[in-house]
Amino acid sequence: MLLPPNQGGLGTPAALVAQKEGIFSMAGSSEDDYAPGVGALFATGGSMASLNGKTAAAFAKEQGYDSVYYVTNDAYPYFTIVERLFREDAGDDMDDLGSSVLKSGQTDFSAVISDIKRSVGEADNPMILLATQYPDAPTMIAQLRKAGVETPVVGNATWATRNIVDALDGHTDNVFYTAGAYTEGEDVSEAAQAYVEKYKEKTGTYPENHQAVESYWSMWALFDAIKTANSTDGAAIEKALFAQKDVELPMRTVYEWKDGHILGSNVVVGFTPEGAFEQVGSYNLTDGE
């Protein structure tokens, strides 16, 4: 087996060599367009951008938000896919208040915040879909709140780190993000707590980002397939892995595989009034629900 880098640009060349040699490869966490570009003997178990977008839309509808302002880092397909799938699932249920584009590493968001203030000021039940990564996202949110904008902000799995609390500088009210699993708080499941303790034992710190937990459950799925196949032959692993249905992994359920991607449960994480992490929703959107 080969475990290539999670980033498609770095991992695809290695995965293609494995494909040619009949070796099964898996990236524990990666963007949506990674797996289809490699071939049959490849999979990724990450929290797909498309599922993050769909989960954010489902959460927005539950919360009764009527309008949305889009802020997206268009340098990475992950974030443009989050926006696109949110738009598709939100449909005509939410008014489009406008959009802004961010750059990676941006630290001054004054121009974007000015546009947001003008757009959400008179809107009904607005929200902001903020499709960019940590630490840029919490930096912008802190500036947004200091500018007096308390509009709810919904993000994605790249925010899933305990470090986001400090980066928000106390501005945790009405901040939410989607993820494949909930591991950040003190009230996590026993399986999540076991994972966190193992991670701390190995590294001396809490999991830094979402790719750690996604790679963790991906390996569980892969080992389950090897056990089922009773083989490390590439074709045998492919058959066993992609046949998985409703497999309960630590912190996540694998409902099925599609185009080399894991399709599973997703969560939404928010914060208590005291600023502590809490899971505020759980979703299965793989079957159109």
Separation CA 8–CA 107 (nearest Å): 26
| pLDDT score of 289 | 42
User: For residue range 187-219, what is the model confidence (pLDDT) as tens digits?
Assistant: 999 999 999 999 999 999 999 888 889 899 899
- Residue 19 phi/psi, 5-degree rounding, is -55, -45
Please, which residues bridge with residue 234 across strands?
Answer: none
Percent of the chain with pLDDT over 70: 99
| pLDDT score of 92 | 79
User: For residue range 93-125, what is the model confidence (pLDDT) as tens digits?
Assistant: 899 999 999 999 999 999 999 999 999 988 989
Q: What is the mean pLDDT of residues 82-99?
A: 92
Separation CA 167–CA 232 (nearest Å): 44
| pLDDT score of 222 | 94
Percent of the chain with pLDDT over 90: 74
Statement: residue 288 has pLDDT above 50: no
- Are residues 23 and 1 in contact, defined by beta-carbon separation less than 8 angstroms? yes
Q: Which domains does the chain have, with CATH numbers?
A: 50-180+268-282 (3.40.50.2300)
User: For residue range 223-272, what is the model confidence (pLDDT) as tens digits?
Assistant: 999 999 999 999 999 999 999 999 888 888 888 998 888 888 899 999 99
Statement: residue 37 has pLDDT above 70: yes
DSSP the chain: -B---SSHHHHHHHHHHHHHTT--EEESS--TTTGGGT-TTEEE-S--HHHHHHHHHHHHHHHT--EEEEEEETTSHHHHHHHHHHHHHHGGGSEEEEEEEE-TT----HHHHHHHHHHHTT-SSEEEEEE--TTHHHHHHHHHHHTT----EEE-GGG-STTHHHHHTT--TTEEEEESS--SSTT--HHHHHHHHHHHHHHSS---SHHHHHHHHHHHHHHHHHHHHTS--HHHHHHHHHT--SEEETTEEEEEEETTEEEE-EEEEEE-TTS-EEEEEEE--TT--
